[in-house]
Amino acid sequence: MPKKLPKAVKDRAFKLYLTEEYSAKEIALQVSAEHGVVMSEQTIYAWVRADDWKQRLAETKAKAMEKVQDNESTKLARMQEEHQEMYKGIRDKAGSELQLLNFERAFDAVKALDIGIQGERQVAEGLINVQFIQDVVNILVEEIEDPDLIKKIAAKLKVLMASKDNE
């Protein structure tokens, strides 16, 4: 009759499994050492099958990716909203100043108005580009099951985004 291991042992094994950095044998050895129990890699394999750890791993990855995407989307949306408000303020101020002719030269008012309008357009174009990129990333995450390939693509996208930010 198999022995019953404490829940903390199984939970720790599952956390190690989620990292995808350890083999079943390494998980068994590490958990055994940490909790002072004796367990084999067969126990890990049995838990993987019985508790559907592979499915839970996939769900955890999907949730993590979704959270990262949501955080990035929220951050970009907030920045774009702030920029839109700033450019709108410039445009509004320039428009009212042009009407009151408080600028020393009409050209200054026209230039400020143009800066505000151009800025708003650029922010709007950025919104379209960000949504496109987000849609592409969502497709990649849904279709690619190889975690190493996803990591490589993510790294390349980060480099690409950083190079675009520096332009």
Domain that holds residue 46: 7-51
Local structure of residue 158 (DSSP, 8 states): H
Residues 161 and 85 in one domain: yes
Residues 119 and 90 sit within 8 Å (Cβ to Cβ): yes
Q: And the tokens for 30? A: 């590490």
Of 136, 161, 152, 163, nearest to 75 by C-alpha is: 161
Residues 107 and 144 in one domain: yes
Q: Which pLDDT tens digit goes with each residue over 86-115?
A: 877 877 776 676 666 555 666 776 777 777
Residues 47 and 94 in one domain: no
Residues 113 and 149 in one domain: yes
Q: Report the pLDDT value the prediction gives residue 144, as an integer from 0 to 100.
A: 77
Q: Which pLDDT tens digit goes with each residue over 36-90?
A: 999 999 999 999 999 998 888 888 887 877 777 767 767 777 777 887 788 778 7
**pTM for this one?**
0.44
Residues 157 and 79 in one domain: yes
Residue 65 within a domain = no
Of 35, 4, 30, nearest to 17 by C-alpha is: 30
**Domains in the chain, number:** 2
Residues 36 and 74 in one domain: no
Residues 80 and 112 in one domain: yes
> How far apart are alpha carbons 162 and 49 in whole angstroms?
41
Residue 64 within a domain = no
